[in-house]
Amino acid sequence: MNAKRAIELASENKIIIPAFNIPYLPMVKSVISAIIDENSFAMIQVAKVEWKQFESGSMRAVRDEYMKYANEKHTLLHLDHIPVIDEEMMKVDYIPLIKEAIELGYQSVMIDASRLSLDDNIEATAKVAKLAHEANLPCEAELGAVMGHENIQLPPYEEIFASKKGFTNLEEAERFALESGCDWLSVAIGNIHGAVAEAVRHQKKPIAKLDIEHLKKLQEATKMPIVLHGGSGIEQKYILEAMQNGIAKINVGTEIRQAYEETLAQTCNIEAARQAVYERTRFLIKDFYHISNTANIICN
């Protein structure tokens, strides 16, 4: 299945493709098993922060683990968050990482230049989109500030939402869609990333909500599938409504990561931790997103 077409089909049918982050390699088998057992369709993905700050090892290690269990009727492999400026506000040599992912067989890639100015974000994204398109792969990008990964204490969530701090600007989104060459756009509409700094990564995420009216305007402005990062911790009613208004892909990290970490800490048993991830993934697919038995829609 072509990743670009998969997301288009999800958008057209108003369903969602979850993209499950892999900070620990043993999680891959559990997540893919859950996807297959629910006859759903989803992505396995890894971000740079996960092989730097957790235990996924490397882009290659995740690819190798994925290939043991991959099922073309149910799964795709996606490269998540390659930042131009990282969580420590350091510049990243991002082009070699994108090229490596393409060579390794990743089926879609994401560049995050959202910490740059609009002009510089467009320029960086256009470079990556060109590389991806030359390899017949889609490119995901980000506009707006989906906060949480930074190694700082965030303001109270209600303050973030009420002030619309970091929300994706409509005029900028329209220009970005026209000039950047990206295929899908990650936006900020009330969603926040799970914390990755050691001191706070085990804390429960704030219960988040989404500005659906702003999402509708963004979808109209961009006329492309919209991606929701920071999918863990958002109230279900907002996610289900977002699926009807342009969200075609949702990133899921904290929920399954903490299921793995907490069970492993309690039991010292990797198989028990894997089982916890399997059960949580099935719950999300079946009971939270209501996308069991959607594989035939995406991979028909």
Give me the CATH number covering residue 290.
Answer: 3.20.20.70
pLDDT at 230: 86
pLDDT averages per 10-residue partition of the chain, 300 residues: 95 97 98 98 96 95 98 97 90 97 98 96 98 98 75 67 84 97 95 56 69 95 95 90 96 94 97 98 97 92
Cα distance between residue 98 and residue 82, in whole Å = 8
pLDDT at 281: 98
* 192-198-203 Cα angle (round to 5): 55
The answer to whether residue 300 sits within a structural domain is no
Q: What dihedral do alpha carbons 148, 199, 275, 42 form, nearest 10°?
A: 20
The answer to whether residue 29 sits within a structural domain is yes
Quick count: other Cβ atoms within 10 Å of Cβ 214? 17
Residues paired with 185 in a beta bridge = 141, 226
The range of the structural domain enclosing residue 175 comes to 3-294
The answer to whether residue 104 sits within a structural domain is yes
Q: Which helix (H) or strand (E) holds 21?
A: strand 17-21
Cα distance between residue 92 and residue 106, in whole Å = 20
Q: Where are the beta strands (DSSP E) in 70-119?
A: 75-83, 108-112
Handedness of CA 123, 126, 131, 134 (dihedral sign): negative
DSSP letter (8 states) at residue 290: -
> What is the phi/psi pair of residue 148, to 5°?
130, -40
Cα distance between residue 176 and residue 122, in whole Å = 6
Cβ neighbours of residue 230 closer than 8 Å, sequence gap 6 or more: 146, 148, 191, 192, 193, 194, 208, 251
How many domains in the chain? 1
The answer to whether residue 188 sits within a structural domain is yes
Cα distance between residue 154 and residue 13, in whole Å = 36
The answer to whether residue 39 sits within a structural domain is yes
The answer to whether residue 206 sits within a structural domain is yes
Beta carbons of 232 and 252 less than 8 angstroms apart? yes
Cα distance between residue 179 and residue 176, in whole Å = 5
Handedness of CA 102, 224, 28, 81 (dihedral sign): positive
Cα distance between residue 295 and residue 162, in whole Å = 37
Beta carbons of 186 and 113 less than 8 angstroms apart? no
The answer to whether residue 299 sits within a structural domain is no
Give residue for tokens 């290939």.
67
The answer to whether residue 221 sits within a structural domain is yes
* Helices (H), ranges, the chain: 3-13, 27-37, 48-53, 59-69, 94-104, 118-134, 157-163, 170-179, 212-222, 236-243, 254-267, 270-283, 295-298
pLDDT at 154: 64
